[in-house]
Structure 1
């Protein structure tokens, strides 16, 4: 149950969660049936004991999904015993996070991602530098606002606004000629690409409900960023 909860919190696909839980049950010598919705896990053990746990629609944590998948595979291959598996899952469950990286490393990665679109536009070197700076700042604003406030999508709106504002300032200072390219590059770390991909995969696997909810959430994220950018462009 806790494994399913963590996978939902990490943004895993419904069919992946069901398959993982059923494989864990089989590895422990039990007949397990699992059904997953967008925010809940239902588990039946040996046709008798039915259990239910509720989660919330979170973001995407690929590291958590990878860590849990690795643990479940090691359990299936008898490389770890059930006690060690339980202790590892319990540790992740109590901390509510898995292997994480320091903020400066995340921000640096966000800056590198922001530079990538400039390769497509074949822009001069200084555009790469400005994209790195604006993208890093935009990601930092989103990261810390998400920790300070529980209001959904507000951090993304403000981040989009800040990114557009900084790009406009660079243009006003005659440091760049096409500030729209800076905006396009800097919002890349915030775009919900993985969420949209997962929603499409859910649809292909015929999990229509999960697909629709995740796709709607991804569209709201993208819309929040877009409205933030549009507000800055209108005002300035």
Structure 2
């Protein structure tokens, strides 16, 4: 019975770590959360995480390993699992409920998501924010909103249709730059650079860069460098997309 219990615990910890990594959590947060779950369930769990691999040891007798991939950012996933692990430690959540909810998250690979129109509108509002810094006229806000929604929509659908990494960011930033230039040529705006800067804000990997810096501060050098490289590739894809549009048009 103890072997079965240990086996189930190792599987549970492995799934939890996998979900956190794919949600964009820092490695030290993943290790701390998984080991807290083990202590809450009366077992000694040792967790070692890199960006591409997860190692779990339970009670010095059961070992698990799985590959992971560098996913996007799902703060809702991270927050939900972190809240559940602390509720488990406080005995306000039973082990059975915790296991059931982790299995449900692992099966769906996501939390309750917002619908695409809500995401697109949110991207439009994010695109409008830089206009406040530049103190642009009111109509710039409207154009930034429209271009930002279109750019995000292109990136969203291409990321679901194509398995080629970073291609969606290149194409969506290219589309954003073309729309900015088109607005300038039509005489609707005088500075298309401001439109481009605002509209690419939903695509910029701000959270990834922040997490990379936090990893470096916590002396997780390997994970930090991998996250920095991924953020650099994302930023480069956006930059090359914009540059290509400016060169062509």
Confirm or deny that 1:102 pairs with 2:115: yes
- Stretches of structure 1 that go unaligned for 5 or more consecutive residues are none
1:160 to 167, 170, 173: 173
1:42 to 55, 60, 67: 55
User: How far 1:124 sits from its partner (Å)?
Assistant: 0.3
User: How far 1:132 sits from its partner (Å)?
Assistant: 0.3
User: How far 1:49 sits from its partner (Å)?
Assistant: 1.1
User: How far 1:78 sits from its partner (Å)?
Assistant: 0.7
The aligned residue for residue 141 of structure 1 is 154
Alpha-carbon distance between aligned partners in 1 of 2:108 and 2:31, rounded to the nearest angstrom: 23
2:34 to 9, 14, 21: 21
Confirm or deny that 1:227 pairs with 2:237: no
Q: What is the SS of the residue equivalent to 1:57?
A: coil
The aligned residue for residue 6 of structure 1 is 19
Alpha-carbon distance between aligned partners in 1 of 2:108 and 2:189, rounded to the nearest angstrom: 44
Given the two structures, how large is their TM-score scaled by the length of structure 2?
0.94
Alpha-carbon distance between aligned partners in 2 of 1:99 and 1:204, rounded to the nearest angstrom: 32
Alpha-carbon distance between aligned partners in 1 of 2:206 and 2:199, rounded to the nearest angstrom: 14
The aligned residue for residue 127 of structure 2 is 114
User: How far 1:48 sits from its partner (Å)?
Assistant: 1.7
1:192 to 188, 205, 221: 205
Cα RMSD for the two superposed structures: 0.6
Alpha-carbon distance between aligned partners in 2 of 1:102 and 1:73, rounded to the nearest angstrom: 29
Given the two structures, how large is their TM-score scaled by the length of structure 1?
0.99
Aligned residue pairs total 236
Deviation per residue, 1:175-194 (Å, 9 max, x gap): 00000000000000000000
Confirm or deny that 1:179 pairs with 2:192: yes
User: How far 1:204 sits from its partner (Å)?
Assistant: 0.5
Q: What is the SS of the residue equivalent to 2:165?
A: coil
User: How far 1:70 sits from its partner (Å)?
Assistant: 1.1
